[in-house]
Amino acid sequence: MATLFKNIKELLQVRTEPVKFVSGKEMNIIPTIKDAFLLVENGLISDFGSMRDCPSSNFDEVIDCTGKMVMPAWCDSHTHMVYAGNRESEFVDRINGLTYEEIANRGGGILNSAKTLQETSEDDLYNQSKVRLEEIIKLGTGAVEIKSGYGLTLEAELKMLRVIKRLKENYSIEIKATFLGAHALPKEFKNTSDYIDYVIEAILPIVAKENLAEYIDVFCETGYFSVEDTNRILEAGKQYGFTPKIHVNQFTAIGGVQAGVKHNALSVDHLEEMRDVDIEALRGSQTMPVALPGCSYFLSIPYTPARRIIDAGLPLALATDYNPGSAPSGNMNFVVSTACVKMKMTPEEAINASTINGAYAMGLQDKVGSITNGKLANLILTKPINSFGFIPYSFGENHIESIFLAGED
């Protein structure tokens, strides 16, 4: 099966040489080819270049892209999009003045979602989650990471992870699974140390045996899990071959970034509260900082200081954090736009952060995130637009004409 995209106004994120991620000043450059063609064979990108060099043979399909752009689909490296029900009532509580912390202390928050999920059947959870997955695909996402963490019991955590596995089997979007057993302390446990014992001894071995996750996560935060808890869970995870990808510095900076770097985390995510020492800790590491502007927007908390991070020469990825409590939206277009408006990222930086760097933050940099021969043809075809900066500029508008996963729309 060969598909030719021809007369592309501008082909974005063209990387002839494979790139792991981009950082610092490089983030401000999106390599493009104007008036381009792109050839997709058997689901993979097989050739691209200027229309002057466009191959002429009998392709199965030819798509005329006059006036439109083609770019790699969004790579959303942090979501909790397998969940049951919603937390609309807490939304109203917050409008009426309660904080996220106050709601959690009253038994709302993560424990509220866990209760609902525990009472939901696996089939029902699958059906609720697939609606969200289909929606984010329409919004241009071609690779997504999904976490457990609304189970908090062996049975319910496995339910979540099995739903993620079913989504992987049934959809052609790339999916990576993360085990987030240590997301909140269930009421049945007196302290985090006892719960961590349970996660390590009762859940982790089964998640590993059933091959249900690639990554391990923990909510390292005041009132949730300490740095010591984090060290324990990441050590144990590593014994089973799970790479850390962790929640840190959302409300308070307690040393989570340093713990992540020490354990060679693939990413440290949130980072709304960043001290200079936290930025320094990331220097020279292979750990990707990940910002979640949808969460800052929805909870009215500070935005991750993207300028300080990028201007320190570091990379940055953007993701949605799609979840029922702090970011009930999986729209990467909104994330890209919000990063520009609120975090002062340029369109180039936001697009790099949401494609190549997002791919790295879920270990998919060899498969997606750029227009490179041999990568999956997970692509966005835009509607006619003048420049790619128009995508974040005209926020809330839909600029996507179609999305292709492994070359199929």
Which residue reads 């996750």 in tokens? 213
The answer to the question of whether 86 is labelled as a binding residue is no
Strand order in the sheet with 243-248: 74-76, 141-147, 174-182, 215-220, 243-248, 267-270, 288-291, 317-318
Least gap, CB of 149 to ligand NIG (angstroms): 7
Window 62-121: residues binding ligand NIG (CB under 6 A)? 80, 109-110, 113
Least gap, CB of 291 to ligand NIG (angstroms): 12
The answer to the question of whether 100 is labelled as a binding residue is no
* Stretch binding ligand NIG (CB under 6 A), from 277-285, 306-314, 324-332, 382-390: 324-332
Question: What are the structure tokens assigned to 44, written together?
Answer: 């993979």
Sole binder of ligand NIG in the list 323, 337, 352, 382 (CB under 6 A): 323
Q: Does 324 bind ligand NIG (CB under 6 A)?
A: yes
Nearer to ligand NIG, 10 or 76 (CB): 76
Q: Does 326 bind ligand NIG (CB under 6 A)?
A: yes
State the burial class of residue 269 (Cβ atoms within 10 Å of its Cβ: 0-12, 13-18, 19+): buried
Nearer to Fe ion, 76 or 321 (CB): 321
Nearer to ligand NIG, 317 or 381 (CB): 317
Least gap, CB of 325 to ligand NIG (angstroms): 2
Contacts of 375 by beta carbon, 8 Å cutoff, 6+ apart: 44, 45, 72, 366, 367, 368, 369
Nearer to Fe ion, 259 or 376 (CB): 259
Nearer to ligand NIG, 80 or 367 (CB): 80
Residue 263 carries which DSSP code? T
Alpha helix ranges (H) inside 139-275 = 154-170, 192-198, 204-209, 227-239, 256-262
Q: Does 347 bind ligand NIG (CB under 6 A)?
A: no
Nearer to ligand NIG, 57 or 300 (CB): 300
Contact track, ligand NIG, 219-248, x by CB under 6 A: x---------------------------x-
The answer to the question of whether 325 is labelled as a binding residue is yes
CA distances to 180, 230, 302 from 225, in Å:
12, 7, 21
Contacts of 308 by beta carbon, 8 Å cutoff, 6+ apart: 274, 279
The answer to the question of whether 399 is labelled as a binding residue is no
The answer to the question of whether 270 is labelled as a binding residue is no
The answer to the question of whether 247 is labelled as a binding residue is yes
The answer to the question of whether 183 is labelled as a binding residue is yes
Type of residue numbered 291: A
Question: What are the structure tokens assigned to 338, written together?
Answer: 């919000």
- Which residues form the interface with Fe ion (CB under 5 A)? 321
Residue nearest to ligand NIG (CB): 325
Residue 25 carries which DSSP code? G
Residue 327 carries which DSSP code? B
CA distances to 349, 351, 382 from 45, in Å:
24, 20, 18
List binding-site positions for Fe(3+): 78, 80, 247, 321
List binding-site positions: 78, 80, 87, 150, 183, 247, 250, 321, 323, 325-326
List binding-site positions for 4-imidazolone-5-propanoate: 87, 150, 183, 250, 326
